[in-house]
Structure 1
Amino acid sequence: MSFKKKLFTTVGPLVLAFGILGGIFLSPFKFSETSPKVIEEASTSMAVNVIKGNILKNKAMATDTYVPFFGSSELSRFNAFHPSVLATKYDRNYRPFLLGAAGTQSLSQFLMLQSMADEMVGKKAVFIISPQWFVKGGVSKEMFSLYFSPLQTYQWAKNVEQIDDSDIYTAQRLLKFSSVRSDTTMKTLLSQIAQGKPLSATQKKMCQMKLNVLNREDELFGHLGMLGKQGKIKKEAKLLPPTYDLGQLDKLAFEIGQESTKSNQFQITDKFYQKRIVPVQKSLEGSQKDFDYRQSPEFADFQLFLSEVARLKMDVLFVIPPVNARWSEYTGLSTEMLDQFSLKINQQLKEQGFDQVLDFTQDRGEDYFMEDTIHIGWRGWVAMDQEVAPFLADTKSRGPEYQLDSYYFSKEWGKALPTAK
């Protein structure tokens, strides 16, 4: 066999493979379907690919059916009173599209929101704020990297026109993460925006080239690893009364909560308590006495989300869940500190015109309000639904007026301590 033939035999299949792969990525044809069934599965999957991608969530938001519920790990606590179950059982005019999972915080949620800007103008959303996000260091590098979306970041960079305080903050903040800096092209673009310099036409074309490949990746692989909770929702819905009745629902929530927490005095689900608490319980007593959620860069990250809400003329119901009082007493977590966190986050919201705030901080001791140490549970979901259902009776924004203040991006605000009332 000649040298040329040997070379072709060795290299030819590799070249052919790259050619096929390139054809797939550059082809204008679609290789996956975003059918209503697939979107329904995506709405309750909380899959990493869905959170980091665009095709599934954006297609959902383009309909009049789905409403984004931003949050984190509480969204995965499915029981009979979960928002997705209630909306299905009582055939509401909306279905929650769950955008969050354990580890998602304000920065990731900002990137998600801006990536579906065209679909969200003048619409409503629900945003669950976890006090636990607001630790001294803000979102961890590991958790941010898990949900970091190059697709959504290039999209944001390409769409930046007249640079304002929020754009500069976004670029500077993103550059603090190694998962962002490792992409040298992205690092260069963000560094320029961080200096207040708009991208050139050539740089925007570069962004678009990156987006073409990333969008095709999303189209091909965005549905992988996606396991919806439709079976769980149908099973839990069977426990509910056929017609919506608050008294019956609250009574049922109390009974199920009581039945589910027999093993401990903290009103924590038995499974969670036995698996997560019992092996380390002794070491947890008094372990949270120095925890503080009043000073954190998360306040500025949260301001990013608020700025995007205002830009899109959206209307958002913000929910602040409590911390299980029985557990916080055991661990030494300060209720005074939690009350002051509530004051601070309410100030940031209401002084800028975000007046739809459902603050459950003072419900920390209500029976079966929480499912475990920090996650809203049976009666908590029922209480939340009393505001969510009427708020979403019309999914179009009422057009609130916002007065954004760049002070909330500052380190001074992040470190400020509210005065307890």
Structure 2
Amino acid sequence: MRKLRSFILSVVILLIIMFSVNMYCENYIKSNLSTSYKLYNDIKNESTFIQRNEADAKDVLMIYGSSELGTTEILSNPIRYFPKKEDDFFVSPIAKGYMQDLAHAIKFACNPNLKGKKVAFIVSLQWFLYKNGMQSSDFQMNFSELQFYEAMKNPNLSQALKKEICKRIYSLVANNSFYSDAALYAKLYNSNTFLGKLKFNLLKPYFYLKYQALSFSNNVKSYRLLKKYKGVYKLNNSNLSTINLDKDLADEEARGSKLANNNQFDILNSYYNEFIKPNLSKIKNQDKNVKLTDSKEYEDLNTLLKVCKAEDIKPLFILMPVNAKYYDFDGINKTTRTAFFNKTKNLISGYGFDVVDFQKHEYEKYLMEDGMHLGWKGWLYVDKEIDNYYHK
């Protein structure tokens, strides 16, 4: 009996300590939230607490995408371009390489503070290169088990939509033992058998404890992240520059001409020398048989659109352009690209959401930094659309 009392007391003390630490971390994050605005960071991507508070801030526009937002060395990247004198809002990136529609659908579903809010969402043509959609390994590097559990608690999502999400997630994580709990949850949630439903209900306390442990761990990581970067970004709105698109385009063209002048594709010299030049013979027409409009990624995009509708999120979809000279060489010609842009725009606009594309600029010099990432002038066209949408 004495041992039992000691055990219970130890558990109670541990819970009190965890509760106190968690409260301290959350209070610190709220008090230092502006530190996170310009961070392109893995922990921020997983932190629902940071994302919920950012979505609730009046001076922040959330922008979701993939690796293109990591080009923070480019001054026209919206993370660096905003705020402006006319637009005193900050653009906060939620992005990483291979972070695609399904990962973002989960992020949207677990963030109730996005309800009724404007966000920007960048869609990459590269997501649709493979007929079966994203590979399991690519999804797993960006999968947040914590956000998955939180999304599944969302009362605004129908059971049918939750089952759709679970089915897709199970297909992508079931082969990884690290995500065995999430795979089991997804499998049991979709079960129509009495035994499956019984097992799911019996395991609910376990999944709840797993969720609480993940939430605590993530809040501690988020606290350490903001503590590490506190003071690094000086968010001073007193000396902001004005928007002058013509001047900005001229400035960025001048920068691009100095950095991308040794190749036929007008892309970054260093990138061309390292990745393109040694492989020109392999790259030529390597993707000539790709049919972008057949990809399973469209199913994931459709899931994301359903989540946006259910959550009353108001996204601006930005269809990222490509370096047309490079893609013509690669084999994905203008006809193939146009079919992709048209199908994607029709799907998105069918849900009533705003969508823009920049295909008319795709042969323009210094639009892209390389074959697939927005560059000096490309980001400025995106900045203009973000600015217009923010004030719409």
Report TM bin, short chain: 0.7 to 0.9
Letter in 2 for 1:207: F
Offset at residue 352 of structure 1 (A): 2.2
2:152 matched to which residue of 1?
157
- Cα distance in 2 for partners of 1:266, 1:247 equals 24
Offset at residue 89 of structure 1 (A): 4.4
- Cα distance in 2 for partners of 1:210, 1:54 equals 16
- Cα distance in 2 for partners of 1:276, 1:123 equals 40
Q: What aligned pairs does 1:245-324 form with structure 2 within 5 A after superposition?
A: 245-324=244-323
1:222 matched to which residue of 2?
222
Q: Quick check: 1:166 aligned with 2:161?
A: yes
Q: Quick check: 1:94 aligned with 2:89?
A: yes
Structure having the higher helix fraction is 2
- Cα distance in 2 for partners of 1:320, 1:70 equals 12
2:375 matched to which residue of 1?
377
Q: Quick check: 1:127 aligned with 2:125?
A: no
For structure 1, the residue ranges without an aligned partner over 5 or more in a row are 1-16, 395-421
Offset at residue 281 of structure 1 (A): 2.9
2:7 matched to which residue of 1?
none
Taking a change above 3 Å as real, the CA distance of residues 260 and 254 of structure 1, as seen in their structure-2 partners, is same
For structure 2, the residue ranges without an aligned partner over 5 or more in a row are 1-9
Q: What aligned pairs does 1:227-242 form with structure 2 within 5 A after superposition?
A: 242=241
TM, length-normalised to structure 2? 0.84
Q: Quick check: 1:194 aligned with 2:194?
A: no
| CA RMSD in angstroms, aligned pairs only | 3.2
Letter in 1 for 2:303: L
Offset at residue 224 of structure 1 (A): 5.0
- Cα distance in 2 for partners of 1:372, 1:222 equals 32
Quick one: percent identity of the two aligned structures?
A: 22
2:23 matched to which residue of 1?
30
Contact 1:107–1:302 (CA<8 Å) still a contact in 2?
yes
Aligned match of 2:384 in 369, 383, 386? 386
Contact 1:168–1:195 (CA<8 Å) still a contact in 2?
no
- Cα distance in 1 for partners of 2:282, 2:13 equals 57
Which stretch shows the higher mean deviation, 54-63 or 317-326?
Answer: 54-63
Corresponding residue SS for 1:300: helix
Corresponding residue SS for 1:102: coil
Q: What aligned pairs does 1:177-188 form with structure 2 within 5 A after superposition?
A: 177-178=172-173, 182=177, 183-188=179-184
- Cα distance in 2 for partners of 1:247, 1:264 equals 26
Letter in 1 for 2:260: T
1:53 matched to which residue of 2?
47
TM, length-normalised to structure 1? 0.79
- Cα distance in 2 for partners of 1:229, 1:343 equals 44
Contact 2:305–2:351 (CA<8 Å) still a contact in 1?
no
1:359 matched to which residue of 2?
357
Offset at residue 268 of structure 1 (A): 0.4
Letter in 1 for 2:42: V
Q: Quick check: 1:208 aligned with 2:204?
A: no
- Cα distance in 1 for partners of 2:164, 2:339 equals 26
- Cα distance in 2 for partners of 1:384, 1:86 equals 11
Taking a change above 3 Å as real, the CA distance of residues 179 and 41 of structure 1, as seen in their structure-2 partners, is farther
1:74 matched to which residue of 2?
68
